[in-house]
């Protein structure tokens, strides 16, 4: 199969229309068979529930080429399961796990020419999502839904080298106790836009959210979990019911324990502990880990090692597992043949 003629290593993180996307529609209580289509547009009612009341959830994952030349996805079963959790909380019909995996498989296979080659640092970002599509004006869940998956090639995250991030401790909140912070709903992003634009205007890369009940615990940023490394090399990850369960973070915790023999603490992390750590990083599908250089809490500044020893080891081990240069734990890699 011939790859598209693209300057892979100079791609950014933006939408590029690929050839095929997967679509399945839910109507009268059942999903249809689903199909690939070349139509990149959606036509629906002006009153569609997603447009009026934001009934939509999404996932994010990547397909890439391993050193051996295989096209693979990283732990797509966890994306399928997380989307089921999101749908249940949003009163949306579940898209069965086996069908989700098949939709990913079909979308990647049909767009094989768009999966960047090994060594380019680029990947095919996959976006599964679902939304309420029929006309809803009185507040209630939609009756009809659409599930889609498209792919878009994205460039290496650390193009031009690693630049450690600067975060500010946010005055606005991301998630409420017993709210929707733990699911991947579009609404969690809509309400974060004001704050991220303001953060950028003030020279920060991200907002670091604290728990909204007590404002004393570290949660995460708008789109990535946070992890810390103590001065004696322990990995510390904040625990809270209002943090989105990042697949990257869960994988890094396992890598830390099983591959790097690190001690791991998953626990409540106080804002007053920010000065105690040697390294910090954000984790998510996009970058695996982005090192943090500085966190600013209302005039108090805490600095970290950036790509420090432990953050770098975690990064290299997990990306090695993804790229097939380090053996993966059973079931972590789905090969697309």
Ligand X SMILES: *Cc1c(COP(=O)(O)O)cnc(C)c1O
- Residue 184 near ligand X by CB under 6 A: yes
Residue number with CB closer to ligand X (184 or 217):
184
Q: With contacts defined by CB under 6 A, name the span among 13-21, 41-49, 239-247, 265-273 that binds ligand X.
A: 239-247
- The SS3 call for residue 277 is strand
Alpha carbon separation from 39 to 20, 57, 148 (Å, rounded): 8, 21, 12
Residue number with CB closer to ligand X (34 or 179):
179
- Residue 207 near ligand X by CB under 6 A: no
Among 112, 97, 135, 102, residue whose Cα is nearest residue 35: 102
Tell which positions 47-76 bind ligand X, by CB under 6 A.
60
- Residue 21 near ligand X by CB under 6 A: no
Four-point Cα dihedral 307, 206, 152, 109, nearest 10: 60
- In the complex, the smallest distance separating the C-beta of residue 257 from ligand X, rounded to whole angstroms, is 17
| Three-state secondary structure of 61-114 | EEEEECCCCCEEEECHHHHHHHHHHHHHHCCCCCCCHHHHHHHHHHHHHHCHHH
| Cα–Cα dist 27/146, whole Å | 9
- Residue 34 near ligand X by CB under 6 A: no
184 classed as catalytic: yes
- Residue 182 near ligand X by CB under 6 A: no
- Residue 11 near ligand X by CB under 6 A: no
Exactly one of 146, 285, 290, 322 binds ligand X (CB under 6 A); that residue is: 285
Angle at 313 between CA 236 and CA 309, to 5 degrees: 75
- Residue 246 near ligand X by CB under 6 A: yes
Length of the chain: 337
Q: Which residues are catalytic?
A: 184
Site residues (vs ligand X, CB under 6 A): 60, 184, 220, 223-225, 244, 246-249, 284-285
């Amino acid at each position: 199969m011939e790859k598209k003629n693209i300057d892979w290593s100079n791609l950014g993180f933006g939408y590029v229309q690929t050839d095929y996307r997967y679509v399945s529609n839910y109507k009268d209580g059942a999903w249809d068979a689903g199909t690939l289509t070349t139509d990149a547009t959606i036509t629906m009612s002006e009153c569609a529930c997603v447009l009026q009341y934001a009934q939509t959830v999404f996932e994010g994952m990547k397909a890439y080429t391993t050193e051996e030349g295989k096209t693979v996805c990283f732990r797509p079963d966890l994306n399928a399961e997380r989307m089921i959790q999101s749908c249940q909380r949003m009163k949306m019909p579940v898209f069965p796990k086996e069908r989700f995996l098949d939709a990913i498989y079909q979308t990647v296979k049909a767009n094989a020419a768009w999966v960047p080659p090994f060594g380019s640092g680029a990947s095919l970002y996959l976006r599964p999502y679902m939304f309420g599509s029929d006309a809803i004006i009185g507040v209630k869940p939609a009756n009809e839904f659409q599930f889609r998956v498209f792919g878009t090639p994205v460039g290496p995250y650390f193009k031009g080298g690693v630049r450690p991030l600067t975060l500010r401790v946010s005055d606005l909140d991301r998630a409420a106790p017993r709210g929707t912070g733990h699911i991947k709903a579009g609404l969690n992003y809509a309400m974060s836009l004001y704050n991220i634009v303001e953060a950028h205007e003030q020279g920060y890369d991200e907002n670091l959210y604290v728990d909204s009940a007590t404002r004393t615990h570290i949660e995460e940023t708008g789109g990535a979990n946070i992890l810390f490394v103590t001065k004696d090399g322990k990995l510390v990850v904040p625990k809270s019911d209002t943090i989105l369960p990042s697949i990257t973070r869960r994988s890094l915790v396992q890598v830390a324990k099983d591959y790097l023999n690190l001690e791991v603490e998953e626990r409540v992390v106080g804002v007053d502990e920010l000065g105690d750590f040697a390294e910090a990083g954000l984790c998510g599908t996009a970058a695996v880990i982005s090192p943090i250089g500085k966190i600013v809490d209302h005039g108090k500044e805490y600095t970290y090692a950036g790509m420090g020893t432990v953050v770098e080891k975690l990064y290299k081990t997990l990306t090695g597992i993804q790229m097939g240069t380090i053996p993966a734990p059973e079931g972590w890699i789905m090969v697309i043949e």
